[in-house]
Amino acid sequence: MKAYERLINYVQIHTTSDPDAETVPSTSRQFDLAKVLADEMTALGISDVRVDEKCYVYGTIPATAGCEDAPALGFLAHLDTAPDFSGEHVHPQIHKNYDGKDLPLGTSGLVLSPSKFPHLADLAGQTLITTDGTTLLGADDKAGIAAIMTAAEELLGNQAPHGKICLCFSPDEEIGGGAEDLDIPAFGAAYAYTVDGGAANEIEYENFNAAEAVFTIKGFAIHPGDAKDKMINAALLACRINAMLPEAETPRDTEGYEGFFHLTDMEGDVSGATLSYIVRDHSAENFEARLATLRHIEKIMNERWGEGTVTLTITMQYRNMKEKILPCMHLVDNAKAAIRELGMEPVTSPVRGGTDGAQLSYRGLPCPNLGTGGYAFHGPYEHITAEAMEQVVQVILGIIRKYAEQPDVN
């Protein structure tokens, strides 16, 4: 089966995660895809297939004779889709021989256009897969799952020399929990790759340092007629707090290695208010400076309005994996070599977000990120080509071949 055919099947299974849930997985519907994958893996002849109680799907392809000493290599992708946009009742649209021009998305009124996505012109002649404009597609990360499964099928079919291959499909990556409960010893890999990026020629090993920051503001509500020198309007203080942050350091105004403060949610009235931010920076030093800025705002607000008026809560989320990958640059070098063998030029760019690989790298499993071939994730303009998905399959197989040819990577 082709990778894109698998993708079409997988995206029709609703697996959106829930950031407000306190269970793992955050939504039981992720088990629906997990069970489909487990059955498919077993049918392909993958060994030790299991789905644990937290919805992690594991499987192993044993090393071929003579490659037992090659490092055990893992490939991972996530089951869930982002809660940013509907992932239910997905109706993928297949456009063969796409002409590279404006493309209406079903009857939604939305148009996928090169004016917004210039790379579309380069996809002319390919088989483009899109949404119908009413949901996201779910290529993030069901395209990653499809590529891994297709590579596994090809590997088992041709029995090319390879070391032990470890597979895992995990829940809740989109809400930051995908790597937390992964059983690394049971997974069995010495090194791994997530398949969760964009273009097929990408290899990523740098990501943001990240935290969530929440300001809780306690106001003092009183009748406006008696408010002189008494009222503390929490909603107005929230406005002042946001105005203290650098105006040009938002996601809209930054790119590449530039960090930001991103206001994700605000609510409140005179008596109480909250501001929720995500804070991101590739530089550990700059990241700590951003957190210091937030703490300073808390301090000066309380000095002005009274201790306890403003409370800042910072929750660390993930760290830049670069320092954990640098001692294992063979992971990046082998991926680049596999990409070049397919006639593509590898691209390394910083991830302006996080991946399961960042958490896994800090848990002791070095894990850079490969592309899926997809674009415009988390919304109705999400799209991918069948041809790019096949390239990702071949990148995975190329990496496996590299490690079989050079088992001693230390």
335 & 280 share domain: no
228 & 87 share domain: no
Given 273, 301, 318, the domain boundary residue is 318
Peptide bond into 25 cis (omega under 30): yes
pLDDT at 176: 83
pLDDT at 164: 97
Q: Give the sign of the dihedral formed by CA 10, CA 14, CA 20, CA 26.
A: negative
pLDDT at 410: 58
pLDDT at 406: 79
pLDDT at 397: 98
Whole domain around residue 235: which residue ranges? 209-318
pLDDT at 211: 93
141 & 14 share domain: yes
Token code pair at residue 119: 């790379």
Query: Measured over all CA atoms, what is the biggest interatomic distance in the chain, rounded to whole angstroms?
Result: 86
pLDDT at 353: 78
Given 270, 299, 318, the domain boundary residue is 318
CB atoms within 10 A of CB 300: 12
pLDDT at 349: 84
242 & 362 share domain: no
CB 20 within 8 A of CB 1: no
287 & 183 share domain: no
253 & 396 share domain: no
363 & 222 share domain: no
Tell me the C-alpha distance between 14 and 30, whole Å: 7
385 & 299 share domain: no
Residues ≥6 apart with Cβ < 8 Å to 63? 70, 162, 163, 164
- In SS3 terms, 147-188 reads as HHHHHHHHHHHHCCCCCCEEEEEECCHHHCCCCCCCCHHHHC
CATH value at residue 36: 3.40.630.10
Tell me how many domains the chain contains. 2
Tell me the C-alpha distance between 195 and 20, whole Å: 26
295 & 336 share domain: no
Strand duo 369-371 + 310-318: pairing? unpaired
Given 261, 284, 318, the domain boundary residue is 318
Tell me the C-alpha distance between 318 and 355, whole Å: 9
371 & 306 share domain: no
Q: Among 60, 59, 6, which residue's Cα sits nearest to residue 33? A: 6
Tell me the C-alpha distance between 139 and 6, whole Å: 11
Tell me the catalytic residues.
80, 173
390 & 302 share domain: no
Average pLDDT by stretches of 10, the chain with 410 residues: 98 96 96 98 98 98 95 97 94 97 96 96 97 97 98 94 97 88 96 96 94 96 89 97 97 94 96 97 95 98 97 92 94 98 94 85 95 96 98 98 81
Tell me the C-alpha distance between 330 and 407, whole Å: 11
377 & 284 share domain: no
